[in-house]
């Protein structure tokens, strides 16, 4: 049976989620935000996929607008991990992500994640400031990212998977201790 690793890319509108999915995916991502003139913003979701032997990595981008927050929980259901992405070019763009980050951090407290500070090529805000503004817990990594850069996108994936592996080890160790 094919196994599934479900990864969710969360973050506000304009954080670079679609670009990240496009950089990593083996399939053309499904269309997401579409501006219809200046009136209607239409949403579906970003979707990408990578197959590794018998494991399929499904990558879902969450619509960033707060008015679609009822979809966040639906898309996040069953995820194994998530990357929270922010446009780190300015303090204001990071502050705009605060509500969404609080939502994910509180609703999915036990799900491994990292925070990706995107657009580092044009950012003047330090990673420490990103952490401070979003109030990211010390145990969670804040990593630099340029979503168009395949090398950085792969490094981000590796860091996330290391977090997932660590979380699995922790839980296995906890189970062993309980048995003992």
67-126 positions binding other proteins, by CB under 8 A: 67-71, 74-75, 77-78, 80
Q: Among the candidate windows 10-18, 96-104, 117-125, 152-160, which touches other proteins by CB under 8 A?
A: 152-160
Distance CA 29, CA 87 (A): 20
Q: How far is the CB of 164 from other proteins (least distance, A)?
A: 6
- Cα 90 to the chain's mean position, in Å? 19
- Residue 164 interacts with other proteins (CB under 8 A): yes or no: yes
E strand or H helix that includes residue 91: helix 91-95
**Burial letters for 105-120: b for 16+ Cβ neighbours within 10 Å, e otherwise?**
beebeebbbbbbbbbb
Q: Indicate the helix (H) or strand (E) that contains 45.
A: none
Please compute, for residue 110, the number of CA atoms within 13 A of its CA located in the half-sphere on the CB side. 5
Q: Is 178 in the site for other proteins (CB under 8 A)?
A: no
Which stretch, 46-54, 90-98, 100-108, 138-146, contacts other proteins (CB under 8 A)? 46-54
Binding residues (CB under 8 A) for other proteins: these are: 1-6, 27-31, 34, 36, 39-45, 47, 49, 52-53, 55, 57-58, 60, 67-71, 74-75, 77-78, 80, 149-151, 154-155, 157-158, 161-162, 164-165, 168-169, 172
């Amino acid at each position: 049976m094919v196994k599934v690793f479900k990864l969710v890319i969360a973050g506000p509108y304009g954080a670079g989620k679609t670009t990240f999915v496009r950089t990593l995916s083996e399939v053309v991502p499904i269309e997401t935000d579409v501006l219809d003139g200046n009136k209607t913003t239409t949403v579906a979701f970003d979707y990408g996929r990578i197959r590794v032997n018998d494991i399929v990595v499904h990558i879902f981008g969450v619509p960033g607008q707060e008015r679609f927050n009822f979809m966040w929980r639906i898309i996040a259901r069953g995820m194994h991990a998530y990357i929270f992405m922010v446009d780190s070019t300015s303090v204001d763009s990071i502050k705009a992500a605060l509500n969404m980050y609080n939502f994910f951090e509180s609703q999915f407290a036990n799900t491994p994640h990292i925070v990706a500070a995107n657009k580092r090529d044009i950012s003047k805000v330090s990673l420490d400031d990103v952490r401070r503004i979003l109030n990211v817990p010390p145990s969670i990594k804040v990593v630099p990212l340029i979503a168009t850069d395949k090398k950085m996108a792969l490094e981000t994936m590796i860091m996330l998977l290391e977090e997932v592996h660590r979380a699995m080890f922790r839980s296995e160790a906890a189970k062993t201790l309980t048995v003992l």
